[in-house]
Amino acid sequence: MIQFSNYDIISNLLFATQWTILLSLAAFVGGTSVALALTAARLTRNSLVQKCVHLYVELFQGTPLLMQMFLCFFGLSMLGYEISAWSAAILSLTLFTSAFLVEIWRGCIDTLPKGQWEASRCLGLSFLQTLRFIILPQAIRVALAPTVGFSVQVVKGTALASIIGFVELTKVGTMLNNATFEPFKVFALVALIYFALCYPLSLYSKHLEKKFHVSR
Amino acid sequence: MLHFSDLFQYTDVFLSGLLTTVELTLLTTILGIALGTCCAAIRQYGHTVSQRLVAVYVELIRNTPFIVQLFFIFFGLPAIGLKLTPWQASMIALTINLGAYSTEIIRAGLSSIPKGQIEAAKVLGMNFRQTLTRVIFTPAFEKIYPALTSQCIIVMLGSAVISQISVEDLTYAANLVQSRNFRAFESYLVTALLYLVLAIALRFIFNQIGKRLFAYREVR
Amino acid sequence: MSLVNLHQVHKYYGDNHVLKGIDLDIQAGEVVSIIGKSGSGKSTLLRCINGLEEYQQGGITLDGKEVTTEDIQVRCLALSVGMIFQNFNLFPHMTVGENIMLAPTIVLKKSKAEAAAVAKAMLEKVGLAEKFDSYPEKLSGGQQQRVAIARALAMSPKVLLCDEITSALDPELVGEVLKVLEQLAQEGMTLILVTHEMNFARDVGNRVVFMHQGKVWEEGDSKQLLSSPQTDELKQFIGAVL
């Protein structure tokens, strides 16, 4: 058996952290893009489209992320679509993230007073103009803090990719645990690294929220 | 092609898994909210040192993945002499997790109570405990009830991870079934739908309980 | 012996000297109106009397006992000092009856039946007997404030402090609340009110205390003081509000 020094453990974990960060970024970018498209679709006020978006949100918020990952990974390959753990993780995290973001953003858009839409219409602005010049600039300011806050959930969500075999921080943690039999140390370090990734995001989200409330 | 008929013979496995998930959810909901209530009261009204301690607990839990918390409790704690069964470890991890989130939620409720309410109780001669239980709690909980119950459902869905330390919950059942009949997509799809039904049922039950608890709103 | 006595009371918020040596002596049965511009320290003075605010120098005695902010003292005080707030502060999750019965049952340890009887009597007094089972949010502002008065009365206080209790009300609702106060005054209740209602202060009150810059600037018999103010500050104030 190979001996692992503390240095080895930490350097292995830090190396794996790169994959956690990369996966988080990919999922966040993917999730934001899909959520943007869905939000735009919702704003068209077509009731069928709205119902579909609603169903999408219900499905992905009402089932475990782990199950979504299993379905993407084991399920799709069963159906004949070969998919790597990396792709399956990105795909499921994108779906999961977008479902939450679209709901968060809906709340943000809904908090804007109805008068804003009405005043814009009275001024002769078109729907898109209203969106572009009136609604979005305000909604983005409101949405920034909760969106950054949700990115913490995305980073934590990537830990589940370890279960379908993607080698990131948690997976390397379990591997090191099996090799060193020092679970207390290894998992405490893993937790610490996640904390170091997430806590700044949490703080930044809180800061944004405060800034927004002060400026209002 | 999909073959759902291959799943029927495993109904018992799914049901017993579902039962375990429901059992753990109910238990941790009660314990987690109780923990969160205590911590929120300390965070809001306690001494500086205990406030700090609660803040550290909340931030640590909220900024690390549940699966790592679970592994730390199940694999890590025995290393310092605290041996736990998978079921016990899961229950503790879920409770601690929900406790941290509900602390933040309940605290928001507590701080939404106008100062005047507390002063009114004071000038009527109520002590702190009476003020908290009689005057503050009901309106505070009413305000955050939707957020709190959503969090309970999120924790229920997150509990799928405990299958990884071989607690025989719903996800464990899905893994077991697909390893026997090699119908991964069908098993996981059915399981996902069972979770969805559970989430919807829980939300319905929470709403009903809420209507009872805050009945005075309905009287009008 | 006086019911409420303040002796050289000083109060600071950090560096801000809010009360600069207040002397005041109030007898049982008196109706004292405290008037003055906002920021003159009148609400703070009231809150010091029942221990909601602490003061740094001087002394306040109530029925011979010293007032301090110690929680337990506040609780003893509650038995002799009632307080009514500008924004009512009724408990939204309880009916009118429950609001009034709460303190008598859990603080005075009265039985439910006894507390209910007191609550009904007090509601009768403020003219809202039929609202016993209503929730506060269903009532108008004037009605809510009358319930708040009934809630305070149910503890049978020796003195009632009123902190701008008509300021949050629509003009047409002020009258019903003042009528209740007038009735209480006639029954001999000691009232200390911070108010902007000059007519009420003159017609119902015995004494007016004019506060300015944290001091008792001028005080005296209400009719006399308001009709012939001595200081320029009070003249200016009366000119501004009337």
CATH number (domain holding residue B30): 1.10.3720.10
Residues sharing a CB contact under 8 Å with residue B162, sequence separation 6 or more, in sequence order: B24, B70, B86, B90, B93, B94, B169, B171
Q: Are residues C30 and C102 in the same domain?
A: no
Residues C176 and C70 in one domain: yes
Q: Is the pLDDT of residue A82 over 90?
A: no
Instruction: Please state, rounded to an integer, the average pLDDT across all residues of chain A.
Output: 90
Q: What is the pLDDT of residue C189?
A: 94
Is the same domain home to C182 and C149?
Answer: no
Query: Per mean pLDDT, which range of A36-45, A54-63, B61-70, B162-171 is the poorest?
Result: A36-45
Tens of each residue's pLDDT in chain C, 242 residues:
789 999 999 999 988 999 999 999 999 999 999 999 988 889 999 999 888 888 898 988 888 888 877 766 667 777 788 999 999 999 988 999 999 999 899 888 899 999 999 999 999 999 999 999 999 999 999 999 999 999 999 999 999 999 999 998 999 999 999 999 999 999 999 999 999 889 889 988 899 999 999 999 999 999 999 888 999 999 999 888 76
Q: Which residue of A has its CA nearest to B189?
A: A71
Neighboring chain C residues of B122 at a CB cutoff of 8 Å: 52, 74, 78
Residue A201 and residue B218: Cα distance in Å, rounded? 40
Single out the residue of A154, A1, C74, C12 nearest to residue B63, CA to CA.
A154
Rounded to 10 degrees, what is the CA torsion of A16, A22, A28, A29? Answer: -170
C136 and C179 within one domain: no
Q: How far apart are CA B21 and CA B169, in angstroms?
A: 5
Nearest to C181 by CA among C170, C168, C195: C195
Q: Does domain A6-215 have CATH number 1.10.10.10?
A: no
Tokens of residue A37, six digits: 């498209």
Flag whether A touches C (3+ CB pairs, 8 A cutoff): no
Of C52, C74, C102, the CB nearest to B134: C102
Chain A positions in Cβ-Cβ contact with residue B72 (cut-off 8 Å): 183-184, 187-188, 191
Q: Please, are residues C81 and C155 in contact by the beta-carbon 8 Å criterion?
A: no
Distance (Å, rounded) from C-alpha C147 to C-alpha C90? 8
Task: Enumerate neighbours of B (3 or more CB pairs within 8 A).
Answer: A, C
Which element (helix H / strand E) includes A5?
A: none
User: Quick one: tokens of C138?
Assistant: 């269903």
Residue C227 lies in a domain: yes
Sign of CA dihedral A151, A153, A159, A160: negative
One domain for residues C117 and C223: no
Domain around C150? 90-156
Query: What does DSSP say about strands C31-35 and C190-194: parallel, antiparallel, or unpaired?
Result: parallel
Task: Choose from C52, C93, C122, C131 for mutation: most chain B CBs within 10 A.
Answer: C93
Residue type, A209: E
Q: How far apart are CA A7 and CA A29, in angstroms?
A: 33
Q: Evaluate whether residue C164 is within a structural domain.
A: no
Contact B124 C135 (CB under 8 A): no
CA angle C115/C121/C122 to nearest 5° reads 90
Q: Least CA distance to B60: which residue of chain A?
A: A195
What 3-state DSSP class applies to C86? coil
Separation in Å, CA B163 to CA A8, A48, B213? 30, 38, 34
Radius of gyration over every alpha carbon of chain A, rounded to an integer in angstroms: 21
Facing A66 at nearest CB: one of B76, B171, B183: B171
The mean per-residue pLDDT over the stretch B14-41 comes to 96
Q: Does B2 fall in a domain? A: no
| Per-residue pLDDT reduced to its tens digit, B43-97 | 999 999 999 999 999 999 999 999 999 999 999 999 888 999 999 999 999 999 9
Out of C124, C156, C188, pick the residue that ends a domain. C156
Q: What percent of chain A has pLDDT over 70?
A: 98
DSSP code, position C129: G
Q: Which helix (H) or strand (E) holds C209?
A: strand C207-212
> Residue B216: its pLDDT value, please?
67
What count of other Cβ atoms lies within 10 Å of the Cβ of residue B40? 27
Check if C75 contacts B (Cβ < 8 Å): yes
Q: How many domains does chain B have?
A: 1
| Residue A112: pLDDT over 90 | no
Domain segments of chain A as ranges: 6-215
A125-164 residues touching B, CB cutoff 8 A: 152, 156-160, 162-163
Whether residue A216 is predicted with pLDDT greater than 60 in this model: the reply is: no
Share of chain A above pLDDT 90, in %: 66
pTM above 0.90, yes or no: no
Q: What is the pLDDT of residues A174-214, one digit of tens each?
A: 999 999 989 999 999 999 999 999 999 999 999 999 888 77
Judged by CB atoms closer than 8 Å, whether chains meet at B116 and C107 is answered as no
Residues C60 and C36 in one domain: yes
**Long-range pairs for C129-132: beta carbons < 8 A, 24 or more residues apart:** C131/C96, C132/C95, C132/C96, C132/C97
Residue B18 near residue B177, CB atoms below 8 Å: no
Residue B1 maps to a domain: no
C242 in the same domain as C174: yes
Question: How far is the C-alpha of A177 from the C-alpha of A200, rounded, in Å?
Answer: 27
The CATH number of the domain where C42 resides is what?
3.40.50.300
Residue C193 host element (H or E): strand C190-194
Report yes or no on C163 lying in a domain.
Answer: no
Same domain assignment for residues C173 and C228: yes
pLDDT score of B220 = 43
Average pLDDT over residues B126-141: 92
Task: Report helix, strand or coil for C35.
Answer: strand
CB contact B67 to A (< 8 Å): yes
| pLDDT at res. C22 | 93
The SS3 of residue C216 is strand
C54, C91, C99, C158: best to mutate for the B interface, most B CBs within 10 A = C91
When divided into structural domains, chain C yields a total of 2
β-bridge partners, B184? none
Shortest Cα distance, chain B CAs vs residue A194, angstroms: 5
The span from the CA of A95 to the CA of A24, in Å, is 13
User: At residue C157, what is the residue type?
Assistant: P
Looking at residue C72, what is its pLDDT? 60
- Across the interface, of C82, C93, C103, the residue whose CB is closest to B139 is C93
- Tell me if C30 sits within 8 A of C36, measured CB to CB: no
The answer to whether residues C7 and C29 belong to one domain is yes
| pLDDT at residue A215, as a whole number | 63
- Chain B hits for A182, CB-CB cut-off 8 Å, are 79
Q: Are residues C50 and C106 in the same domain?
A: no
pLDDT at B219 over 60: no
Q: Starting from the edge strand earliest in sequence, which strands make up the sheet with C65-66, in order? A: C16-26, C4-13, C57-62, C65-66
Q: Using CA atoms, how far apart are residues B195 and B154, in angstroms rounded to an integer?
A: 11
Range of the domain at B71: 9-214
Nearest partner of B72 among C202, A105, A159, C226, judged by Cα: A159
- pLDDT tens digit string along A129-163? 888 888 888 888 889 999 999 999 999 999 999 99
Lowest model confidence (mean pLDDT) among B107-116, B210-219, C109-118: B210-219
Min Cα separation B119/chain C (Å): 7
